[in-house]
Amino acid sequence: MELYDQVKKMIKESDNIVFFGGAGVSTASGIPDFRSAAGLYNQKHDSDYSPEYMLSHEFFEEKPKEFAEYIKKNLIYEDISPNKAHKILASWEKEGRLKGIITQNIDSLHQLAGSRKVFELHGNLREYYCVSCGKKYTLEDFLKKENPPLCDKCESIIRADIVLYGEGLKQDVIEKSIELIQKADVLIVVGTSLVVYPAAGFLDYYNGNKMILINKEPTAKDAIADYVFYGDIGEVLASIAEGKEQ
């Protein structure tokens, strides 16, 4: 049996699939990843600070104006749409086979594709809040405000509900993600370099023997996967869904 047919059969017969995804899932939608040659961290920018530092809690606290400018310029994409990978996953969820999507992405494209069981490890860019009084704001509110964006109620700083370097992941999201992985029959890991912890360590909780890893290039966790595919993520997922290599 061809490998793609074998994996398609495995997915079709399972009603307990869990998806774990990273930045590579959204590159086909026009959002750059972080660590590849063309990724955000390797792009030229007009600052003396590294992109990693500008996405840190320390930078947010010390330079809220520059932090907001960086977010608006480099992380927010208003005219984006879900790609083939997002749509395939949404269809699997609708069919009752996909039990959850654990994503490191902050773009909300899974939800735009129709997925509802989405657990965002690093938060999202659709929700904002005041760091002092907690008042909620939308992306539209955030974009309209001058930098640094200030709360209408108490004039403190407004920030995106994302996890910055130097901050911890939300405990409820951690617990639910680990629970999903522990109970999964099939675990599909896609578009992530698997070098960022603690997220990369979540794969160690998988107890099965049907881990499928899909990425454009080798990752730090290839050796623990049962099936490894390299290539365009949307095309590989489509090939698996169809049961034949494209």
User: Tell me, what CATH number does 103's domain have?
Assistant: 3.40.50.1220
For residue 244, the model assigns a pLDDT of: 58
> Does residue 72 sit in the same domain as residue 86?
no
> Does residue 196 sit in the same domain as residue 219?
yes
CA angle 107, 109, 112 (to 5 degrees): 130
> Does residue 192 sit in the same domain as residue 234?
yes
Q: Identify whether 181 is part of a domain.
A: yes
> Does residue 107 sit in the same domain as residue 179?
yes
> Does residue 173 sit in the same domain as residue 158?
no
- Distance, in Å, from the CA atom of 31 to the CA atom of 24, rounded to the nearest integer, reads 9
For residue 39, the model assigns a pLDDT of: 61
> Does residue 178 sit in the same domain as residue 67?
no
> Does residue 110 sit in the same domain as residue 210?
yes
pLDDT < 70 positions in the chain: 1, 34-39, 41-45, 243-246
Last residue within a domain, chosen from 162, 178, 210: 162
Q: Identify whether 148 is part of a domain.
A: yes
**pLDDT (tens digit per residue) in 121-141:** 999 999 999 999 999 999 999
> Does residue 182 sit in the same domain as residue 212?
yes
Q: Identify whether 35 is part of a domain.
A: no
> Does residue 197 sit in the same domain as residue 98?
yes
Q: Identify whether 217 is part of a domain.
A: yes
Percent of the chain whose pLDDT exceeds 70: 93
- Distance, in Å, from the CA atom of 90 to the CA atom of 73, rounded to the nearest integer, reads 29
> Does residue 112 sit in the same domain as residue 134?
no
Q: Identify whether 201 is part of a domain.
A: yes
- Distance, in Å, from the CA atom of 83 to the CA atom of 234, rounded to the nearest integer, reads 7
Q: Are 26 and 105 in contact (CB under 8 A)?
A: yes
DSSP string over 1-64: --HHHHHHHHHHH-S-EEEEE-GGGTGGGT---SSSTTSGGGS--S-SS-HHHHTBHHHHHH-H
Q: Identify whether 91 is part of a domain.
A: yes
Catalytic residue among 45, 57, 86, 122: 122
For residue 200, the model assigns a pLDDT of: 87
45 is catalytic: no
- Distance, in Å, from the CA atom of 89 to the CA atom of 84, rounded to the nearest integer, reads 9
Could you give the strand order of the β-sheet that contains 123-130, starting from the edge strand earlier in sequence? 136-138, 123-130, 158-162
Q: Are 5 and 243 in contact (CB under 8 A)?
A: yes
Strand pairing report for 17-21 and 186-190 = parallel
Q: Identify whether 46 is part of a domain.
A: yes
- Global pTM exceeds 0.85: yes
Which CATH number belongs to the domain containing residue 136 in this structure?
A: 3.30.1600
For residue 32, the model assigns a pLDDT of: 82
Nearest to 106 by CA among 147, 71, 62, 133: 71
Q: Are 189 and 224 in contact (CB under 8 A)?
A: no
> Does residue 9 sit in the same domain as residue 65?
no
Could you give the strand order of the β-sheet that contains 98-103, starting from the edge strand earlier in sequence? 118-120, 98-103, 17-21, 186-190, 211-215, 227-230
> Does residue 45 sit in the same domain as residue 95?
no
Cite the DSSP H helix spans in 99-244.
109-113, 139-144, 171-183, 233-242
- Distance, in Å, from the CA atom of 200 to the CA atom of 229, rounded to the nearest integer, reads 18
Q: How many domains does the chain divide into?
A: 2
Q: Identify whether 8 is part of a domain.
A: yes
Continuous segment of H or E residues that includes residue 67? helix 64-74
197: domain range?
Answer: 3-30+82-122+169-242
